[in-house]
């Protein structure tokens, strides 16, 4: 038995025992088994891919030959193709068929015309016209009867026949469409889609925009669009789970199925009591995607703002120097800093950062006043 078979799940019997014992004395084997056990996924297909890649190099010289063969066959194809195309040119029959159709119909109308003078009874003609009119919806039967009585006879007989032609065309069109549409559908169905699709909705069934969806245990994820839909193009094992999350909602795990999943999230009662401020912080990418600073609702003034700066402000903006920015600004009636003026600053980057912090600051408790303070970063 090989290691490959072992990781495929054949872990019973003496052969498996042999491999396990070998692993005891062979750190290489031991590490490999540990690796396969610790990470979930389809390892067998990965191995086959890799083996394919490594062994493919061997066939390079054969490939050159196959390229030549491909080029030759393409040339042949072009040659034959152009030959047939030239042959087919005189046989453009399509317009002919189109012209035949009206011809076929008009004789019947002429027949009727010629029949009219012979027959003395007007009523029979009008009934004929009527039957034709029934077949063609655009002309109402009553109107044709009236016309048949009032005017010369051949005319009404013509009218329904002419009306019939577009009707026939319509039927043909609709038939063609009928045949075409399922064909198109079949084509789109035939393409196997590896994409995992679904929708995230809130407790009322409304779509959640920008909700995150992740495959459990991996870094593969997606964000829902404006309709709450998401798409993951990753091949995943059937046993994998999806985790959906949204701000203010409880995370939810669902099993992955072939069909598009609809994930309903319930509001998280706990988070409603807090104000959540999202700020931009230079941090290592691997630790967080975005950073969230939570500030409990309560007082917010100079002291709290300085703390806020410490938490979210960028550090070491002016090199080694201690960074200080003296600013003055007004607190608006809504509680936000306005009319910011920088009085003194260690460097340009620091003043920009101070302005940014003031702009993104939470609402201040004491409103409608002037503040002058020194922010140290």
Partner 1 sequence: MKIKLTYKDWSDEELLQQYVTTSRQELLGQLYSRYIPLVYGLCLKYLRQQEDAEDAVMQIYEELQRKVVNFEIANFRTWLYSVAKNHCLQILRRTQGQLFQEIDERVMESDGFEHLIDTNEDIEKDKALNYCLDTLSAEQKVCVVHFFFDDWSYADIVEKTGYALTKVKSYIQNGKRNLKLCMVKILDC
Positions in the binding site for partner 1 (CB under 8 A): 2-4, 7, 11-14, 16-21, 23-36, 38-39, 41, 43, 46-47, 49-51, 53-55, 57-58, 60, 219, 286
Nearer to partner 1, 210 or 217 (CB): 217
Nearer to partner 1, 38 or 92 (CB): 38
Question: What's the min distance (Å) between Cβ of 74 and partner 1?
Answer: 29
Question: What's the min distance (Å) between Cβ of 48 and partner 1?
Answer: 9
| Residue 142, token pair as written in the block | 């009553």
Question: What's the min distance (Å) between Cβ of 81 and partner 1?
Answer: 37
Nearer to partner 1, 222 or 309 (CB): 222
3-class DSSP state of 236: coil
How far apart (Å, rounded) are the C-alpha atoms in residues 133 and 159?
9
The answer to whether 364 touches 300, Cβ cutoff 8 Å, is yes
How far apart (Å, rounded) are the C-alpha atoms in residues 364 and 337?
8
Using only C-alpha atoms, the chain has a radius of gyration, in whole angstroms, of 40
C-alpha closest to that of 200 among 190, 189, 212: 212
Nearer to partner 1, 65 or 184 (CB): 65
Question: Any idea what DSSP says for residue 26?
Answer: -
The answer to whether 217 touches 40, Cβ cutoff 8 Å, is yes
Nearer to partner 1, 33 or 357 (CB): 33
Angle, vertex CA 43, rays to CA 41 and CA 48, nearest 5: 145
How far is residue 264 from each of residues 121, 201, 208, 215, 221, measured CA to CA in Å? 76, 5, 9, 16, 17
Question: What's the min distance (Å) between Cβ of 242 and partner 1?
Answer: 18
| Residue 84, token pair as written in the block | 């047939």
Nearer to partner 1, 18 or 172 (CB): 18
* Cβ-based neighbours of 212, under 8 Å, separated by 6 or more: 221, 222, 223, 244, 245, 246
Question: What's the min distance (Å) between Cβ of 43 and partner 1?
Answer: 7
Question: What's the min distance (Å) between Cβ of 77 and partner 1?
Answer: 31
Q: How many CA atoms lie within 13 A of 310 on its CB side?
A: 6
Nearer to partner 1, 53 or 333 (CB): 53
Question: What's the min distance (Å) between Cβ of 235 and partner 1?
Answer: 10
């Amino acid at each position: 038995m090989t290691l490959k078979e072992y990781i495929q799940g054949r872990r019973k019997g003496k052969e498996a025992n042999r491999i396990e014992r070998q692993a005891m004395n062979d750190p290489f084997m031991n590490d490999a088994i540990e690796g396969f056990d610790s990470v979930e996924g389809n390892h067998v297909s990965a191995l086959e891919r890799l083996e394919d890649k490594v062994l493919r190099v061997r066939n390079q010289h054969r490939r050159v030959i196959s390229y030549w063969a491909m080029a030759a066959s393409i040339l042949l194809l072009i040659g034959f193709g152009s030959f047939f195309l030239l042959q087919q040119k005189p046989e453009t029959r399509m317009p002919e068929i189109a012209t035949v159709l009206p011809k076929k119909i008009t004789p019947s109308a002429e027949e009727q015309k010629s029949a009219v003078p012979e027959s003395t009874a007007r009523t029979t003609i009008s009934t004929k016209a009527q039957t034709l009119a029934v077949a063609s919806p655009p002309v109402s039967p009553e109107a044709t009867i009236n016309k048949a009585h009032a005017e010369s006879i051949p005319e009404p007989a013509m009218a329904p026949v002419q009306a019939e032609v577009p009707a026939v065309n319509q039927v043909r069109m609709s038939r063609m469409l009928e045949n075409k549409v399922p064909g198109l559908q079949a084509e789109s169905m035939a393409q196997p889609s590896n994409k995992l699709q679904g929708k995230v909705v809130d407790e009322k069934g409304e779509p959640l925009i920008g909700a995150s969806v992740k495959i459990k245990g991996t870094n593969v994820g997606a964000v829902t669009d404006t309709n709450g839909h998401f798409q993951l193009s990753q091949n995943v094992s059937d046993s994998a789970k999806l985790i959906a999350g949204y701000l203010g909602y409880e995370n939810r795990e669902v099993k992955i199925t072939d069909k598009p999943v609809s994930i309903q999230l319930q509001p998280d009662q706990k988070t409603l009591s807090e104000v959540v401020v999202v700020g931009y912080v230079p941090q290592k990418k691997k630790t967080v995607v975005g950073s969230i600073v939570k500030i409990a609702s309560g007082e917010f003034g100079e002291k709290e703002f300085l703390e806020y700066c410490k938490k979210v402000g960028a550090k070491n903006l002016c090199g080694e120097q201690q960074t200080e920015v003296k600013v003055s600004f007004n607190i608006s009636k809504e509680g936000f800093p306005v009319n910011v003026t920088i009085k003194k600053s260690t460097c340009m980057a620091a003043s920009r950062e101070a302005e940014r912090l003031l702009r993104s600051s939470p609402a201040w408790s004491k409103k409608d006043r002037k503040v002058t303070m020194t922010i140290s970063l």
